[in-house]
Amino acid sequence: MPAVELTNISKAYGTTAAVRDVSLTVEPGELFGLIGPDGAGKTTLFRILATLLLADAGTATVAGHDVVRDFRAIRNVVGYMPGRFSLYQDLTVQENLAFFAAVFRTTVQENYELVRDIYEQLAPFKDRRAGALSGGMKQKLALCCALIHKPEVLLLDEPTTGVDAVSRQEFWHMLGTLKAKGITIVVSTPYMDEAARCERVALLQTGQVLRVDTPAALRAAYPWPLYAVRAARMHPLLQDLRAYPGTHSCYAFGETAHLSLARPDAEATAHLTAYLTGKGHRDVAVTPVPATIEDTFMELLTQQQPANPEPHEPAAQ
């Protein structure tokens, strides 16, 4: 029995189609990522799975329970950490934990084994109001609250958005520990480095699933020769690379431009360097690079675009 199963789920808000015909299966004990930019439909899917929102069409189950028929059962087996506002800001750390424990008729002590690692980090701040915690500590408290009733399935909606890099690392380490304890985790993130830490991910865009696969398979699926290109000035670099005759796609990628070529060119580095130097660019460096999940995502987005008079425009940043 899958831990989570979505079959042809659709949901619209008025005329906005937030989720369109989504089908997904998450296996028990899996660490599964929902990856997509703002507005891709991640929160809507979580709210449907957490039984807080009814889909317009399709069916969904969590731990074998139907989200409509068996919603009470699901609330006992799911831990849901919404993206925002999951804590009572005026209650202390201790009071928030006691509150969530009371809702599920349990105590922190009863489930201490599961939350110990997180609780020990929170303990020095137990009398501090949640509203006065750092972003990273707030996320840890929210996770602790979501775990208080020993859920089988954790639903985490962008748990690390707005959290500093060190706290993000710690948070993902904690997810690894929870997974080792057999908990199924469905986590959404807009960060591609976090996508790479999932066992499988669904790439979402405007309410649709573009692809579901392992991070390694997504990287391997990238079909073009790919280069990271640097030069002193980024904006004209992007413009000139898009005008290069062999270009398939080109977009900003951190401090470089990622350029894919429509066909292999054994001399690509030399040809591109000569081309860019001829256009007046300085400090040019062209390096072949392996594709990341983000490159595959960008490629899938490009394939989604309708016929475009400017075929080398990036679909999104």
Ligand X SMILES: Nc1ncnc2c1ncn2[C@@H]1O[C@H](COP(=O)(O)OP(=O)(O)OP(=O)(O)O)[C@@H](O)[C@H]1O
Nearer to ligand X, 152 or 194 (CB): 194
Q: Which residue has the tokens 């001399």?
A: 267
Nearer to ligand X, 43 or 86 (CB): 43
Nearer to ligand X, 42 or 65 (CB): 42
Please write down the long-range contacts of 278-282, taking CB distance under 8 Å and 24 or more positions apart: 279/236, 279/240, 281/231, 281/232, 281/233, 281/236, 281/237, 281/240, 282/231, 282/232
Give the three-state DSSP class for 224: coil
Using CB under 6 A as the binding rule, the residues of this chain from 93 to 152 that contact ligand X are: none
Based on the shown chain and the rule CB under 6 A, indicate whether residue 18 belongs to the binding site for ligand X: yes
Based on the shown chain and the rule CB under 6 A, indicate whether residue 43 belongs to the binding site for ligand X: yes
Using CB under 6 A as the binding rule, the residues of this chain from 156 to 195 that contact ligand X are: 158
Q: Among residues 2, 39, 64, 135, which is the contact residue for ligand X, using CB under 6 A?
A: 39
Q: Among residues 8, 13, 177, 220, which is the contact residue for ligand X, using CB under 6 A?
A: 13
Based on the shown chain and the rule CB under 6 A, indicate whether residue 210 belongs to the binding site for ligand X: no
Q: Among residues 9, 24, 33, 44, which is the contact residue for ligand X, using CB under 6 A?
A: 44
Based on the shown chain and the rule CB under 6 A, indicate whether residue 42 belongs to the binding site for ligand X: yes
Give the three-state DSSP class for 243: helix
Q: Among residues 41, 136, 151, 215, which is the contact residue for ligand X, using CB under 6 A?
A: 41
Please write down the long-range contacts of 299-306, taking CB distance under 8 Å and 24 or more positions apart: 299/222, 299/223, 299/224, 299/249, 299/260, 300/203, 300/205, 300/210, 300/211, 301/205, 301/210, 302/249, 304/205, 304/210
Residues that bind ligand X (CB under 6 A): 13, 16, 18, 36, 38-44, 158
